[in-house]
């Protein structure tokens, strides 16, 4: 898949060269165009009084392939089925692929680990924005560091920044105790209970309220 551009590039070109054989003017454009894209060009002459009308568009020309230049953005995740680590990101738009196709590597490790990241290639899944890793039901609601990189046929692009997310939660294994109710007025009661022990093994997730 090419990205098509029909552009009049506003570049002031003074250091052009002349070809001896034909007398045609020539200039090289560095770090201006995008890889794996199609361009046409127009040229204007400029003097002290201003700029003339641009030329007709040139024929179409394509640039070569390159590795991805940017990392996937908005890396995050969490939630899902107990025992899973859900990793999400925004897929690269086609103009950032720099090649006909793209895929991703996702890497993860426990947040408190000094070990290496475990890396998973998603080559067969192409341009997706989600992957679920099975980390085991015993690893409910644990923090993990995750990162994602884009890859094409020429190689890998940069990794995203590391983000901390949590594996999926499990059902709480504790319930409120010492529940009492006192009259507040003729139509209401004031209900109280003992605070819960909020350790991971009992809450098994993030406490968001009571019912």
Residues 174-207: tens digit of each pLDDT: 888 899 999 999 999 999 898 888 888 888 888 8
Asked if residue 211 has pLDDT above 90, the reply is no
The whole-model pTM stands at: 0.79
Q: How far is CA 96 from CA 73, 99, 103, 142, in A?
A: 12, 9, 12, 33
Question: Across the chain, what does the average pLDDT equal?
Answer: 87
Residues whose CB is less than 8 angstroms from the CB of residue 98 and which lie 6 or more positions away in sequence, other chains included: 34, 35, 36, 65, 66, 67, 68, 69, 152, 154
More confident residue, 145 or 4: 145
For range 65-73, the mean pLDDT: 97
Residue 120 β-bridge partners = 106
């Amino acid at each position: 898949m090419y990205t098509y551009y029909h552009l009049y590039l506003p570049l002031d070109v003074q250091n052009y060269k002349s070809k001896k054989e034909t007398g045609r003017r020539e200039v090289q454009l560095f770090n201006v165009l995008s890889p794996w894209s199609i361009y046409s060009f127009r040229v204007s002459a400029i003097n002290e009084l201003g700029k003339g009308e641009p030329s007709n568009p040139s024929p179409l020309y394509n640039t070569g392939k390159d590795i991805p230049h940017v990392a996937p953005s908005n890396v995050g995740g969490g939630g899902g089925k107990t025992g899973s680590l859900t990793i999400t990101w925004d897929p690269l738009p086609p103009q950032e692929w720099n090649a006909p196709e793209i895929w991703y590597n996702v890497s993860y490790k426990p947040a408190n680990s000094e070990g290496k990241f475990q890396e998973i290639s998603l080559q067969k899944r192409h341009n997706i924005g989600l992957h679920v890793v099975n980390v085991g039901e015993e690893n409910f609601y644990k923090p993990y560091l995750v990162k994602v990189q884009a890859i094409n046929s020429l190689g890998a692009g940069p990794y995203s920044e590391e983000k901390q997310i949590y594996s999926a939660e499990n059902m709480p294994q504790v319930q409120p105790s010492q529940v009492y109710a006192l009259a507040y007025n003729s139509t209401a009661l004031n209900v109280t209970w003992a605070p819960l022990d909020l350790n991971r093994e009992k809450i098994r997730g993030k406490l968001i309220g009571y019912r």
